[in-house]
Amino acid sequence: MQADRKKRLEEMVNKDDGSAKRTTIILEKDERNFIDQLIREGKEPGIKPLISKMLDVYRSMMIYDWRFPGEYYCGISRIAFVNVEILSILIQQIPREKWRENGRKMGEALKVSMETTLGLKTAEQENWGAVFNRLRIQGFGDFLLKDKYILIKTPFINDAEIWTGLLEGLFELQLDMKTTTQPLVFEIKGKQHV
């Protein structure tokens, strides 16, 4: 009798029918208060959606090597959460005539990081959706491809000249900047001649 119960319990525990599993999480009082505050203020609809969102962000960012606090790696690249004001100060120290060139170098660095992390070639247009998604997740802005135009809504970097170079380096393209204010629009002129 005891063996039957044990066998049945093992079957139930090891059963993997793809259905959702119930999990209990014990939170510290301050963690629970913080979650309750988010819900009360309408920033989150509930605990389950909040945890699902957190897991989605974790999975989307591919930050599996957390050396908490403050040291995060996504593939081969160290990730930092930087405010736009700091980045703007750094950009202002570069002579304006070198913005596109520096943007291109930034794009080439992003290319190496993304190709290594995502396992794809950024220059191949069929991969651009995944690259645009990665850029969005990392906070660079919202990217769209419309015919022969790349559009950036809400760009983290406001300078179109830097974006021109960055996109050229990332996608191995020649671009023509069409706007200098948001949304930024770039016409694809062709592939870079290497």
Q: What is the pLDDT along the chain (194 residues), one digit of tens a residue?
A: 567 766 766 666 666 666 777 888 899 999 999 999 999 999 999 999 998 888 887 777 666 656 666 677 776 777 777 888 999 999 999 999 999 999 999 999 999 989 988 889 999 999 999 999 889 888 899 999 999 999 999 999 989 999 999 999 999 999 999 999 999 999 999 998 65
161 vs 169: CA distance, rounded Å: 13
- Residue 82 within a domain: no
- Residue 14 within a domain: no
| Count of the separate structural domains present in the chain | 2
Q: Say yes or no: 114 and 50 in one domain.
A: no
Q: Could you list the residue range(s) of the whole structural domain that residue 46 is in?
A: 26-55
Q: Say yes or no: 43 and 115 in one domain.
A: no
- Residue 20 within a domain: no
pLDDT the model gives residue 146: 94
- Residue 42 within a domain: yes
- Residue 123 within a domain: yes
Q: Say yes or no: 51 and 110 in one domain.
A: no
What is the pTM (predicted TM-score) of this model? 0.72
pLDDT the model gives residue 176: 96
- Residue 10 within a domain: no
